[in-house]
Each structure stands twice: as structure tokens, then as C-alpha cells.
């Protein structure tokens, strides 16, 4: 099965398929993990594990992203309020609430695709 037919099969099951185009910086796929610190984020606001937030290395604070768990198709919208992750191969660190919505609390990490919905 090729990539195009795999995407069509997933779409037929009702799962969102995001393709990664290196020319489109608004869409990216890679690893994600979750964290629940009690300190301040890089944006200066307190880290709240119960909010739908995320850390990204470069996106401006306040950017809203749609994040889809590639393993189960679950999706969530998060707001960038911190910097990270600092582990090779990961593109996002998500709050515990976002990880719960995406269904990977127990695993600690998963593969995701993210799409920028709105920039500040």
C-alpha cells in the first residue's frame, strides 16, 4: 500500500490526515510528549497542567495549533505558551490536559501532526 492509498484508507475511517509539506511551515509531524511542571512558562504565565497548552521551539506565544495523535486520530487545539521540547525528534511538549485529550498519558509520548490555526 502506498502513502496516497494509506491516506485515503484513513480518511475513509473518519480519521484526519495531515500531510507534511516542507514548504508549508504551518504543518509539521513528529514526536510529542507531555509535562506538568508547577513553574512559570517561558511566556511568563504559570504552567497549568489542566489547560490546553504546549511548548514549541520557535512558534510565537499565543499561536493556536490543531494537534492530531497519529496513532489514534484524536485531536485537540492548544495554545503555545512555552519553549521546548529539548529532546531530539520531538516537535511539541504538551500539557497533561492536552495529552489526556489525545490519549497518550500512559505512554508519555506519541507521534503527532500539528497545523497552525492562528498566529497572534
pLDDT 10s digits, 51-101: 999 999 999 999 999 999 999 999 999 999 999 999 999 999 999 999 999
Please name the helix (run of DSSP H) or strand (run of DSSP E) that holds residue 27, with its range, or none. strand 27-35
Phi (first) and psi of residue 83, to 5 degrees: -110, 145
| CATH code matching the domain that covers 19-118, chosen among 1.25.50.10, 3.90.220.20, 3.30.565.10, 2.40.40.10 | 2.40.40.10
Q: For the full predicted model, state whether its pTM sits above 0.85.
A: no
From 22-31, 44-53, 61-70, the region with the lowest mean pLDDT: 22-31
Please name the helix (run of DSSP H) or strand (run of DSSP E) that holds residue 118, with its range, or none. strand 109-118
State the DSSP string of 46-112. Answer: BP-TTS-EEE-SSSPTT-EEEEEETTT--EEEEEEEE----STTEEEEEEHHHHHHHT-TTTSEEEE
Q: What are the domain boundaries of the chain?
A: 19-118
Amino acid at each position: 500500500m502506498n502513502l496516497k492509498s494509506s491516506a485515503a484508507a484513513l480518511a475513509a475511517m473518519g480519521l484526519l490526515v495531515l500531510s507534511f509539506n516542507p514548504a508549508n511551515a504551518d504543518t509539521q509531524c513528529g514526536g510529542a510528549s507531555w509535562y506538568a511542571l508547577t513553574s512559570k512558562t517561558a511566556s511568563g504565565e504559570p504552567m497549568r497542567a489542566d489547560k490546553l497548552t504546549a511548548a514549541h521551539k520557535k512558534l510565537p506565544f499565543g499561536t493556536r495549533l490543531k494537534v492530531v495523535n497519529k496513532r489514534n486520530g484524536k485531536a485537540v487545539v492548544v495554545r503555545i505558551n512555552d519553549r521546548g521540547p529539548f529532546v531530539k525528534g520531538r516537535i511539541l511538549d504538551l500539557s497533561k490536559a492536552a495529552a489526556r485529550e489525545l490519549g497518550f498519558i500512559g505512554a508519555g509520548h506519541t507521534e503527532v501532526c500539528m497545523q497552525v490555526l492562528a498566529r497572534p
